[in-house]
Homo-oligomer: A and B are copies of this chain.
Amino acid sequence: MRVSTTRPYSSLSQKSQQWKPRGIRFGVYTVGLGAVYLVVQNRVNAEAPPSKPKYRISEIRKHGAKAEKIWVYRGTGVYDITDWIPGHPGGEVILQAAGGSIDPFWKIFSIHQKQDVYDILEQYRIGDIDPRDLVNGEVPADDVYDPFVQDPERDSRLKQHSSRPCNAETPGTLLTEQITPNELFYVRNHLWVPQDGPDTHKILVELPDGTDREYTMAELKSKFREHTITATLQCSGNRRSHMTQRSRSTNGLQWDVGAIGNATWTGVYLRDVLQDVGLSITELPKDAKHVQFTGTEAYGASIPIAKAVDPQGDVLLAYKMNGVDLPPDHGYPLRVLVPGTVAARSVKWVSKIIVSEEESTSQWQRRDYKCFGPNEGSKPDWSRAPSIQETPVQSAITSFREISAHSVDDRKALQVYGLEEDSIALTGYAFAGGGREIVRVDVSYDGGHTWRQAVLEEADTLGSKNWSWKRWSHVVPKREVGLEVVVKAVDEGYNTQPDTHGPTYNFRGNLATAWHRLSYEPK
């Protein structure tokens, strides 16, 4: 099913018209792994339903992913989807449901939940579940496979926005260190956490001329030089809730300041692996324009080839995070790590890499993780905006602490700053994409009318460019603090943040990078 991740929409659309099982003409007009959107252009002149054999669930289980005939059930209907799989626009991810219920997957890939898709499936119906396996006319929950059942436990200090899939951010007050501990690192999963160990995990790499090569984890580690870099990962939705609060409602998880973290990552250079497969990185073939990544669970994304082969690009196939094996939530046993680029491209649990003329056809590449003008509604022409890769300059306040001159301990802290009166201490982070270093952080205590410079924390980082956030702090006498505290940052290209969210508003709430403003009410 490589076809579905390498072909452009147009070619897929043609392919789908080639097979017209049982007289139906399909038009696949939007395709992506997990974003199957089918329209039956001519409805079937329904024939009389065939006789309906009854099947036991134990019988259906025998038709799993490795069987000759692939069966699934939906509700109480049983389907042989063997002939459908080659044309499934979402690719082999459909095999995840083989031998069991497709319902939990369609709950996740919710775009299937429409009559047109039900109609297609119905063409493959071979019968019904035997009533002896039903309770009150339904399959008992225990018999429905739950892909999330093996998801790991998460640290209770993380703030969960959703659990299935898990999306959980680090509270700002816990983002105190240059390196974010693994257990506190924000989790952004699009699907479930696949179960695959270093002994079984393999990665297939394919070039435009069809050359391919498969590596085991052991081969990757022994064949290529190991590199460690320090890099910040940030979700494109970080601070989305601020855009919502200060502009208009946005569609997505309402992250505060904690969909970001900084860690060391150890692995091998993607460029070394691509060269090993046979890619000439100094004289690229003309059809080598993007590198597509697919995770075991089905998530997919791509990056431009220039980033992948840049000698200063530091793109890793990483197997360690902060010196230990990747935690399950962060891609164990192998993930892509694209420093300086929005985290959505650092595909976790990566099992397939394809050098292609096209971007990934996944919905996350083509119909998500883009920004449009503030006037453009929720149904934009997605092809008009580029997928987010490098991210703009960002900053946030992560802690706001009052220091009392009347407390012995606090008095000592104040002396460090040459202060002897009640004060306010701010800390936070600033980060820019593309390896551009943060060179200045400005803080305002009067809503942006006057400014002062925060102290930037020095840090040893690894890598060809500045892939890590800068921690900053500022302390000021309380009497100088007005009603609105503001932070903004400047990167080495002298890019700055926009003053307000309105002019960068987009309905998905991506890249909410306007000045971070906190209201202050002195006690």
Residues of A in contact with B (beta carbons under 8 Å apart): 282, 306, 310-312, 371-376, 385-386, 388-393, 433-434, 436-437, 439-440, 442, 448-453, 464, 488, 490, 492-500, 502-504, 511
- Please determine whether A392 and B439 come into contact, CB atoms closer than 8 angstroms: no
Q: How far is the CB of A269 from chain B (nearest CB, A)?
A: 14
Q: Given the known A-B contacts A375-B450, A440-B385, are A488 and B511 also in contact in the complex, defined by CB atoms under 8 Å?
A: no
| Chain B residues in 8 Å Cβ range of A434 | 434, 493
Q: How far is the CB of A470 from chain B (nearest CB, A)?
A: 13
List, sorted by A's number, 20 A–B pairs whose CB atoms are closer than 8 Å.
A306-B312, A311-B311, A373-B453, A374-B442, A374-B451, A385-B440, A389-B492, A389-B493, A390-B436, A390-B493, A392-B493, A393-B495, A433-B493, A434-B434, A448-B503, A488-B503, A493-B495, A495-B495, A499-B499, A499-B503
- Please determine whether B392 and A495 come into contact, CB atoms closer than 8 angstroms: yes
The majority secondary structure among interface residues of chain A is loop
- Please determine whether B442 and A391 come into contact, CB atoms closer than 8 angstroms: no
Q: How far is the CB of A391 from chain B (nearest CB, A)?
A: 7
| Chain B residues in 8 Å Cβ range of A386 | 437, 439, 492
Q: How far is the CB of A34 from chain B (nearest CB, A)?
A: 24
Q: How far is the CB of A132 from chain B (nearest CB, A)?
A: 58
| Chain B residues in 8 Å Cβ range of A488 | 503
- Please determine whether A494 and B388 come into contact, CB atoms closer than 8 angstroms: yes
- Please determine whether A494 and B442 come into contact, CB atoms closer than 8 angstroms: no
A373: which of B385, B448, B451 is its contact (CB, 8 Å)? B451
| Chain B residues in 8 Å Cβ range of A306 | 312, 464
Report the separation of the CA atoms of residues A451 and B375 in the bound assembly, to the nearest whole angstrom. Answer: 6
| Chain B residues in 8 Å Cβ range of A452 | 373, 375
Closest to A388 in B: B494
Closest to A385 in B: B439
- Please determine whether A440 and B495 come into contact, CB atoms closer than 8 angstroms: no
Known: A374-B451, A376-B453, A390-B492. 15 other contacts (CB 8 A): A306-B464, A371-B490, A373-B452, A374-B450, A386-B437, A388-B494, A390-B494, A391-B494, A392-B496, A433-B493, A434-B493, A449-B502, A488-B503, A496-B498, A498-B498
Q: How far is the CB of A514 from chain B (nearest CB, A)?
A: 9
Q: How far is the CB of A139 from chain B (nearest CB, A)?
A: 46
Task: Sort A-B residue pairs by CB-CB distance and give the 5 closest, nearest first.
Answer: A390-B493, A499-B499, A392-B495, A495-B495, A392-B494
Report the separation of the CA atoms of residues A310 and B442 in the bound assembly, to the nearest whole angstrom. Answer: 32
- Please determine whether A496 and B503 come into contact, CB atoms closer than 8 angstroms: yes
Report the separation of the CA atoms of residues A319 and B476 in the bound assembly, to the nearest whole angstrom. Answer: 55
- Please determine whether A371 and B511 come into contact, CB atoms closer than 8 angstroms: no
Among A373, A452, A500: residue with most chain B CB under 10 A: A373
Closest to A492 in B: B386
| Chain B residues in 8 Å Cβ range of A503 | 442, 448, 451, 488, 496, 499
A310: which of B312, B393, B497, B500 is its contact (CB, 8 Å)? B312
Report the separation of the CA atoms of residues A449 and B439 in the bound assembly, to the nearest whole angstrom. Answer: 31
